[in-house]
Structure 1
Amino acid sequence: MRKSILGRKVGMSQVFDEEGKAVPVTVIEAGPCYVVQKKTPERDGYAALQIGFDEVRGGKLNSPLRGHFNKDKVKPLRFLKEIRLDEAELDSYNVGQEIKADIFGPGESVDVQGISKGKGFAGAIKRHGFHRGPSKHGSKYHRGPGSLGAAGVGRVFKGRKLPGRMGGDKVTVQNLQVVKVDSDRNLLLVRGAVPGPRKGLLVIKDSLR
C-alpha cells in the first residue's frame, strides 16, 4: 500500500551520522492529516482518498466547504488533496482517521512534491541557460534570445524557449531518504532539498522505485 501525507516545509538544517559527517536535511512538519472523504469507483468513477491538513476556524471557510466537513463531522482544514489508491486499499481507512508522520520510518525513500519558488519575469539566459551573444565589434545584442527560426511562417512555434515567468511550477523530487522521524512533534527530516519556500505545502509519498 502506498503511503502519503501532507506537510509544510519548515526549513533546512543538518544532522550528524554515525561517522560524524554532517548530513543536510529538510525539516518537514508532516501532519497530522485527517481523512475527509473516500471516493469509490461505483460512486465517483475512481478510487481515491481525500485528506486534509492544517486546522482552521470554520468561519474562515465558505459555506460549501463548511458543509463538506460537517457532513461527516470532520474538523475544518485549510488544505485538501486527493491521493489515488487501489480500490482494495480504501478499506484500511475510515473517514475522520488521523494520519501522522510515523507512517514513515528512518531509511525509507520518499517523493516530495511542492510548488517551486517564483522568480518573476526572467530572460532566456537565466530561465533556460542560454549563452551570451558576441561582445566585440560594437555588438549591442548580448543577452537576447537570438533568432526564432522558421522564416516566413509568421508565428512563433509552441514550446519555443523565450523570456517569461520563471518558477512557480509543480516540482517533484524523487527518492529522498528519510533520516529521522519525530512522531511527537510530527516532524520528518529528509536528506537534501525539497521544492518551495518555507511554510510551503508539500505532498510526501513513499517512492515506487
Structure 2
Amino acid sequence: MKQAIAIRHLAFEDLGLLQPLLQDQGYAIRYLDAGVDPITPELNQADLLIILGGPISANDQALYPFLVDELALLRQRLEQKRPTLGICLGAQLMALALGAEVTAMAGKEIGYGSLSLTDAGQNSPLAALTETATVLHWHGEQFSQPEGALSLAHTELCNCQAFAVGSHALGLQFHLEADPSRLEQWLIGHCCELSQNGLSPAIIRNQQDRFGAEVARVGQQVFHQWLKDLDNPA
C-alpha cells in the first residue's frame, strides 16, 4: 500500500475532503503534528508528502524551529522530484524551499472569493476551477513564483495563488481540501483573526451556504486529476 504523510499544524486544518480521495487511491495516511512529532529525512521515503496550512508564517523559523526541519525535508524531496503537495502555509514552505520569497500582502484574503487561472492553470488539474472561479481563501502572506515553476492562478491581491513543478509538485495558497460541513471549526479556531480583521463568522457562514458545496465538488475533481497525473506522468 502507498503511504501518504500529512504534516499538520492545526488539528482542524487536516486533509478534509482530500482524505477519502487518497484512501480510494490506495494510500495509507499518516499524520504528523508539527512541533510534536519529529520531522526527519527518513520521511522522504513516503510516496506522497502533504504539508498542510496553519496560522504561523513560513518565515518564522526562529520562533518555530520545526519549520527548519520541514524546509530541509521539502528541499530534499523537491530536489529528488518526489510527489509533494503544499496547502497555504505548506505551499509557502514549498516556495521557500524552491528559492522563492514569502512576503506580507497589502491585505488579508479570508473567506470564499474569486480566483483567476493563468493559461498554464487552464491546462493543469486546476482547470475544473473554471466552473466556479471561487475558492476558500485564508491568508495574509503570499509567495513569489518559484524559479522553474508554472504559475497557475492569481487574484487581485495575490499575484501567484498556485504553482506546479512538473507533475510531481503542487502548491496551493487556497483551501480546496476544506470540508464545508466542518467550517465551524475554522470559525472557532481562527476567531481572534476574524475579530482583528473585522469579519463576522456570519459572513463566512453565508458564503459557505452559497459556495461551499460547489467548491467542494470541484476541489475533489482537482485533487482527483492531480493524483491521477502522479500515477501517469506526461
Structure richer in strand, relative to its length: 1
TM bucket (normalised to shorter chain) is: under 0.3
Larger Rg: 1
TM-score by length of 1: 0.23
TM-score by length of 2: 0.21
Question: Which structure ranks higher in relative contact order (CA pairs < 8 Å, sequence separation ≥ 6)?
Answer: 1
Structure richer in helix, relative to its length: 2
